[in-house]
Chains A and B, each alone.
Chain A
Amino acid sequence: MTFDRVDVVLEIVKIAVVVGLLLNVVPIMVWVERRGSALIQDRLGPNRVGPFGLIQSMADALKFILKEDVIPLQAHKWLYTLAPMFGLIPALTTIAVVPWGRPFFIPTEIVYGPRVSGVCLIGAAVLAILAIALGGATAKYHRKPNYSKLNFTIGVIVAVSLFLGALALIGVMLGIKTAGAVHLPGGGRLFEPIIADLNVGILLIFALASLGVYGIVTAGWSSANKFSLFGGIRASAQMISYELSLALAAVSALMVAGSLRLTDIVGRQTGYFVLFDTVKIPAWNCFSPAMWLSMIVFIVSAFAETNRLPFDFAEAEAELVAGYHTEYSSMKFAMFFMSEYIAMTTMSALVVTLFFGGWDVPWYNEPPTVTGFLLSAISFLAKVGFLLFVFVWVRWTIPRLKYDILMKIGWKVFLPLAVANIVLVAWFIAMRWI
């Protein structure tokens, strides 16, 4: 395998984009979770900081950073400090093998024209409107008698940076206009929107996901607290059990695609099949009857694997105070929070890739150009966003199960169902129905 400087730069750009998006998912999801729970429970939720309380998460993050970092006296200091990292690193790295857009050929040069100016001007206008709205809200907030300086400062900083972004976009447009046409260094080569296109992609995901349990177990043990230990032990038993049904449910999608590579799995789901000579249905796995069982098993196991309600026994508040992170404070606690939301995002991305066609836009054949790539990436993000909302939705509508019921469902219902579905899919493949 040979690669040159452009490949390295492209790879770094991909990693920066994906990790940046993943890290930004966390504050957005915290906001969605709080506002969503308020919506479901008929409350208001946080609505003070910024418009609709959008900047609340930033204030929270700042608070986490500024809080005192407490290490319990009895705790195993090294492991106590390392545990949040054990949790966060697998969550952050798993996304590397998930494709997030249509591969496209990078154009050799950008010629100034209505399309370029249109994109830049619309982008600048959106950013400017956001900046003005936020600035106005912040100014209004400033006139209130009991305003907090911190929130005000955050509002000003975000508004100014949005405004600077708009200015930068206009600057880019003017730069292209004066140059006439910009020659791109990596022009002509195929840009694959995936960090690492491995031939064992799905196995790598399961391998890294199985490492996520160490963060929780180590945290639970090293805190030297009974509740933490119980949370850690419960979590490890639960995650090991559900990993099995998760992997077995994914096997049926792999069998249909005939490959462990996630790009192949998505590639098989592009296009559509015609039902009754009239209805065009996208060829996503979720529309094929052989997959329904495994899809349900996979999604429910994904909830258990990410320790979300109705399966959040690792931190069941009513029973275990806060479970494995009872003793944690400050940024270490925030890191557990981050790893939970990032793991949720990765799981949603995986569900989308395996069952909802990945980046495929339904009823549309994306061309291998920048436009096709952008449309497919937006489609992927929209699907992942919807699934993330489902995670929140389920959390605030379904109560927590009992622990023995959870284990019983995992071993006695989901595992046999997943195995049965593999047989079903194999039969479908043998009869050439799929």
Chain B
Amino acid sequence: MIEFAIFFFFAAIAVIFALVVILHRNPVVGALSLVASFFALAVMYVLLDAPFLAALQVIVYAGAIMVLFLFVIMLLNLQHGSEPATRPVQQFLGYAGSAFFGLALVYYLVKYTVLQLPPGPFLSDARAIGVTLFEAYIFPFEMVSILLLAAIVGALLLSGRGARPEVAR
């Protein structure tokens, strides 16, 4: 089955590149790996009958947010600065705790989710999404637009000249 092959291939890509993000020391490599991981997730969205959101995923995450990340990493010239090592205890606790958490999550998912998919295709084209968005969710939609405006103003204020400390002359 070609669908399963695609699923496993891109699932492997998503997981491997996500691991690169947390294990590689160079943040530029990390950001690019995260883009690859997000792209693989977009493929998952296509497999889940949501091509519209897959396209949005690539446009918003890969096309805008991660470019912003790369931009900031390059501007701050972070790739040369060596990251101080985390304390071994802290590191061990982090790995062990998250591994335990993940294993528990996967265990319960395997054990308790027996879901039978309903028959028929899942219609989620742009029209259906638009109708739902502008009828049932019109108020949250407007709130999100205000939130985005606030974010723009906040980002400008934080990174603008006014926020810089006065350099001692």
Contact = CB atoms under 8 A, between A and B. Distances in A.
B152 to A, nearest CB: 12
Main secondary structure on B side of the interface with A: helix
A200 B52 contact: yes
Contacts of B75: 233
Contacts of B63: 206-207, 210-211, 213, 240, 243
Given A232-B74, A236-B71, A203 B59 contact: yes
B125 A217 contact: no
Interface in B13-55: 26, 28-29, 32, 35, 39, 42, 51-52, 54-55
B70 interface: yes
B108 to A, nearest CB: 35
A79 B74 CA distance: 14
A233 B67 CA distance: 10
Contacts of B56: 203
Nearest to A239: B67
A200 B51 contact: yes
Interface string A120-144: 0000000000000000000000000
Nearest to A218: B32
B126 interface: yes
A76 B32 CA distance: 13
B55 A207 contact: yes
B11 interface: no
A200 B126 CA distance: 8
A198 interface: yes
Contact of B70 (A78, A198, A208, A236): A236
A199 interface: yes
B70 to A, nearest CB: 6
A79 B67 contact: no
Main secondary structure on A side of the interface with B: helix
Interface centre among B42, B63, B125 (most CB of A within 10 A): B63
A260 interface: yes
B122 to A, nearest CB: 13
Contact of A233 (B55, B58, B71, B126): B71
A64 interface: no
B96 interface: no
Contact of A210 (B62, B70, B71, B74): B62
B64 interface: yes
A228 B104 CA distance: 47
A81 to B, nearest CB: 13
A229 B73 CA distance: 12
Interface in B91-137: 125-126
A203 B62 contact: no
A203 B32 contact: no
B32 A214 contact: yes
Interface string A209-233: 0110110011001000000010011
A240 B72 CA distance: 14
Contacts of A207: 42, 55, 58-59, 62-63
Contacts of B39: 211
Contacts of B29: 76, 78-79
A210 B66 CA distance: 11
A71 to B, nearest CB: 17
A203 B70 contact: no
Contacts of A214: 32, 35, 67, 70
Nearest to B68: A240
Interface centre among A78, A200, A206, A221 (most CB of B within 10 A): A200
Contacts of B64: 210, 240
A316 interface: no
B32 A199 contact: no
Contacts of A78: 29
A157 interface: no
A176 interface: no
9 contacts: A79-B28, A79-B32, A203-B52, A203-B56, A210-B59, A217-B71, A221-B28, A221-B74, A240-B63
Interface of A: 76, 78-79, 198-200, 203-204, 206-208, 210-211, 213-214, 217-218, 221, 229, 232-233, 236-237, 240, 243, 260
Given A203-B59, A206-B63, A236-B70, 12 more contacts: A76-B28, A198-B51, A200-B55, A207-B58, A208-B58, A210-B58, A210-B62, A210-B63, A233-B75, A236-B67, A240-B64, A243-B63
The 4 closest A-B pairs by CB, nearest first: A210-B63, A203-B55, A207-B58, A207-B55
